[in-house]
Amino acid sequence: MNRREFLIRSAGGLAAATTGRLASIAAAQQATGTKPVRLGVVGLGNRGTHLLRLALAVPGVQVKAVCDLNEDNINRAAEIVQKAQGSEPVRYSKAPDDYSAMVKRDDIDAVLIATPTKWHCPMAIEAMKAGKHVGSEVPAGFQLQELHDLVKTKEATGRRYMLLENYLYMRHIMTVWNMVRAGVFGEPYYAECAYLHDCRFMLFKQDGSLDWWGDWAANNFGSDYPTHAMGPVSKWMALNEGDRMEYCTSMMTSPRVLKQYAVKKYGADSPQGKIDCALGEFVSTQIHTVKGRVIRLDYDVNSPRPAVLPYMIQGTKGLYDSRHGVYVEEEGKGEKWDNLQKHQEQYDHAYWKRDAESAQKAGHGGGDFFAVRDFIEMVRQDREPWIDVYDAASWSVLYWCSRESIANRSKTVDVPDFTSGRWKDADWRADNHRPA
């Protein structure tokens, strides 16, 4: 809990905060109102197209330009924009450096990036250097150096950067966030999160060649998609605000299933059947914080299994485990799990109370709706977002950390501090936007 939240929670503080900082924030929102937000969008595959539609639905948004080297993608996007706002966006689809041309336009405020991951960092950096704010799909990047560069560029340019981590906004995640902040579970000290989702169908294109994701998995290994899992847990534990991830270890099972999958699909003698995939099935990473708290981050996109996205947080008074429910210690109550639903009304987040209907239509448990809206508001208000570049870098770098550990017999790897020590002050981000 940081100072601002403490103020808000305590009775006297609420009045003080309302007349003070909160009032000024409300005033700022009032002032910006539906001030136009002009976007360029890059990467218009399925995901980018979905985000494009959501962005266009936010009042005041104008999509000025779209960028994708695939002609079908760009045509589809242009049509969607034309239909929504009555004017065609400018198309950037000819040469690889078309993106550079787009970010130099002086009629866009921000760039929305939904390309394959390896372009996230370079494109975000280029956009900020060109004076544009950035909303980036997850993860922020793969490599240690590019994440450092991302943070440095953000700091040097003063632009805003938000990671579009949609899972953070799911209703049960935000409800538990409210419960944690209300002290229901006491001090949280242990958490689990995982992305367990059989994604083998994404490895090959219809023509049998490796998709960008398959190509990545064939040549790299580690926890390369950590933010859906880490985001919620990081916010529940208020990481980077008084505590931070200090070191981690990671373990991976040797690759077995992907080979078997390719052989079955294309035959043992096919080029696909001969690929020796670098990514094993199960990757388990354990993270230790400066304050002696532990987080487990699991990842498996290859095993034959139903998808499960478990989240768990244990505190000194009780726990939430998405596989079981809620337990809060109480004299004479016994060891009984409650359904989270029982706490839903009391701890439902204001976002959901106000906009559940619109959110639920938007996909990914409503997360996409709020993520895009917060991104637009970041641009409109020119204000640091909830999921800032420090969260983005510290969650995303877990891929690099896990790879280092796995490659070296699970040795301990230090998690970089992207905040330059500012994490020690629990309140250093008190002026950031925070969903309320």
Burial 358-369 (b: 16+ CB within 10 A, else e): ebeebeebbbbb
Burial 405-429 (b: 16+ CB within 10 A, else e): bbeeebeebebbbbbeeebeebebb
| CB nearer to a second copy: pick between 335 and 345 | 335
E strands, 154-309, where? Answer: 161-163, 188-196, 245-252, 283-289, 294-300
Residues 245, 415: Cα–Cα separation, whole Å: 6
| CB nearer to a second copy: pick between 75 and 303 | 303
CB of 148 to a second copy, least distance (A): 23
| CB nearer to a second copy: pick between 9 and 317 | 317
Burial 7-39 (b: 16+ CB within 10 A, else e): bbeeeebeeebeeeebeebeeeeeebeeeebbb
CB of 399 to a second copy, least distance (A): 18
The answer to whether 148 and 137 are in contact (CB under 8 A) is no
Backbone phi, psi, residue 110, to 5°: -155, 160
Distance from the first to the final alpha carbon of the chain: 15
User: Which burial class, exposed, middle or buried, applies to 57 when counting CB atoms under 10 A from its CB (0-12, 13-18, 19+)?
Assistant: middle
CB of 124 to a second copy, least distance (A): 32
Beta bridge partners of residue 286, listed in sequence order: 249, 296
| CB nearer to a second copy: pick between 148 and 265 | 265
CB of 202 to a second copy, least distance (A): 15
CB of 163 to a second copy, least distance (A): 26
CB of 328 to a second copy, least distance (A): 8
CB of 68 to a second copy, least distance (A): 31
| CB nearer to a second copy: pick between 153 and 284 | 284
Give the C-alpha distances (Å, rounded to integers) separating 268 from 2, 262, 264, 271. 57, 8, 7, 8
Q: Which of 228, 70, 208 is nearest to 140 (CA)?
A: 228
| CB nearer to a second copy: pick between 161 and 261 | 261
| CB nearer to a second copy: pick between 46 and 254 | 254
Residues near a second copy (CB under 8 A): 187, 189-190, 198, 247, 249, 251-254, 256-257, 260, 280-282, 284, 286, 288, 291-294, 296, 300, 303-308, 314, 316-319, 323-324, 327-329, 335-337, 409-412
CB of 291 to a second copy, least distance (A): 7
Residues 337, 327: Cα–Cα separation, whole Å: 5
CB of 24 to a second copy, least distance (A): 37
| CB nearer to a second copy: pick between 100 and 253 | 253
Q: Which of 200, 199, 196 is nearest to 260 (CA)?
A: 200
Backbone phi, psi, residue 83, to 5°: -65, -35
Beta bridge partners of residue 313, listed in sequence order: 191, 320
| CB nearer to a second copy: pick between 386 and 423 | 423
| CB nearer to a second copy: pick between 43 and 280 | 280
CA 435 to the chain's CA centroid: 15
Give the C-alpha distances (Å, rounded to integers) separating 291 from 162, 223, 418. 27, 23, 17
CB of 182 to a second copy, least distance (A): 17
